[in-house]
Structure 1
Amino acid sequence: MNDLKTQIYPRSGDKETIYLKPIISNPNISIGDFSMYNDFINDPRLFEKNNVLYQYPINHDKLIIGKFCSIACGAKFIFNSANHTMSSLSTYPFPIFYEEWELDRKDVSNAWDNKGDIVIGSDVWIGYEAVILSGVTIGDGAIIGARAVVTKDVPPYTIIGGIPAKPLKKRFQEAVISSLLKIEWWNWPKEKITQNISAIQSGNIKELERLSSFNNFDSDSI
């Protein structure tokens, strides 16, 4: 069995697709098991440098990504330090240039508005060159369209797209979404997922409910 702590490449001969968890060194970035990133332009192992932007240590803001997420080439996570404060009468970042303006170095973060962490649920698909801004939470099972700019929270199992990104539709009926959020199949042991991939891929919600020892779904189809 492969060691998820050290295995970088999920597929033999494919150096463009990686599991993210083993290559992360920044303590303010947390990646769940099996979440992967594909990059056909740059080395995907440079994810922290090329895709996680303006995450300066002084801000202590975090990127949290759940399990089984799929992140396409060029997706960007833009953190608080990219902002210029809107509460000032000027957007010029004077506190950053504290030496020039004889300001206190400890007040550097006053140059921008702090909107919080970026939190991505599990089983989220983030499309090509999508941009996720600071303070955004994306729910489990959501899909972010290619080149979308996400400025607001995204509910679970919602497809969004555009600039700024807006909801396009729900992936499933509400009853199915409710069941999936209770089942949380991504938290099952690997052996259990392996044995039931066909049920997951075929949309067999009743089988997943049976495996999770509850049944609250009464429709015949997704």
Structure 2
Amino acid sequence: MLSIRIVNVLLLLRLRGNRSQGLFIPQGKCYLGIHPNAQLHVEKGVFFLSKFMRKPEPYVGVLKMGDAATLKVEDDFIIYPGHHIVVMENATLRLGSGYINRNARIHCFQEIVIGKGVAISEHVTLWDTDAHAIVGKESTMTQPIRIGDHVWIGANVTILKGVTIGEGAVIAAGSVVTRSIPPYCLAGGVPAKVIQENIQWK
């Protein structure tokens, strides 16, 4: 059953961007706070926001986009309920294909890139900024996050600024990722470290 709030439909009508080859469908309890100058580009496929798995769920999803913020979606992508996604002024969030499970927290102050064929589990946090600067290190307060293709991120993982996760990598549940992870590695821990190399997952 398709459920879209009327207020979301009205916001979609004025949301800038290109959706000629794809669809954006906010479902369930999903609230959009989008600046008139923000842009959403869905290149192809369907971008579901707050999509419930079997029936309507109690979790409320939030998407906020600031002035000149951009959200780009390359192909089919699902974000399940309970998300809190903020794309700040002039920032860009890029989604390839795959899904992000319930209660994700994504705060994009500069750039966050998520690749194709990703599987991101529940209660995952992505922050590309410290939000507050340490004196003398102001220039490193905000740095992009990049997650490669076919990456699996376990439940309750936190990924911090400046991290690149290589293609095919797996991040174990509960990890805090503060440094980049090479491709095709299993990483875990606080802070996350490589546990095994040359892995494959399906």
Superposition TM-score tier, normalisation by shorter sequence: 0.5 to 0.7
| Distance of aligned partners of 1:10 and 1:70 in 2 relative to their CA distance in 1, 3 Å threshold | farther
Match of 2:94 among 3, 7, 30: 30
Partner AA of 1:5 in structure 2: V
Quick check: 1:114 aligned with 2:155? no
Structure 2, unpaired ranges of 5+: 1-21, 24-44, 60-76
Measure, in 1, the Cα distance between the counterparts of 2:179 and 2:100. Answer: 23
| Distance of aligned partners of 1:119 and 1:14 in 2 relative to their CA distance in 1, 3 Å threshold | farther
Partner AA of 2:195 in structure 1: L
More helix by share: 1
Structure 1, unpaired ranges of 5+: 89-109, 178-199, 202-222
SS of match in other structure, 1:67: coil
With normalisation by structure 1, the TM-score equals 0.51
| Distance of aligned partners of 1:7 and 1:52 in 2 relative to their CA distance in 1, 3 Å threshold | closer
Q: Which residue of 2 aligns with 1:123?
A: 150
With normalisation by structure 2, the TM-score equals 0.55
Q: Work out whether residues 47 and 78 of structure 2, in 8 Å CA contact, stay in contact via their aligned partners in 1.
A: no
Quick check: 1:19 aligned with 2:78? yes
SS of match in other structure, 1:5: strand
Measure, in 2, the Cα distance between the counterparts of 1:72 and 1:122. Answer: 15
Quick check: 1:5 aligned with 2:46? yes
Identity %, equivalent residues: 28
Q: Which is higher, the Rg of structure 1 or of structure 2?
A: 1
| Distance of aligned partners of 1:154 and 1:6 in 2 relative to their CA distance in 1, 3 Å threshold | closer
| Distance of aligned partners of 1:13 and 1:68 in 2 relative to their CA distance in 1, 3 Å threshold | farther
SS of match in other structure, 2:140: coil
Q: How does 1:1-222 map to 2 (within 5 A)?
A: 4-7=45-48, 9=51, 13=55, 19-20=78-79, 26=87, 28-33=92-97, 35-39=98-102, 42=103, 47=104, 51-53=105-107, 55-56=108-109, 61-87=110-136, 110=138, 113-172=140-199
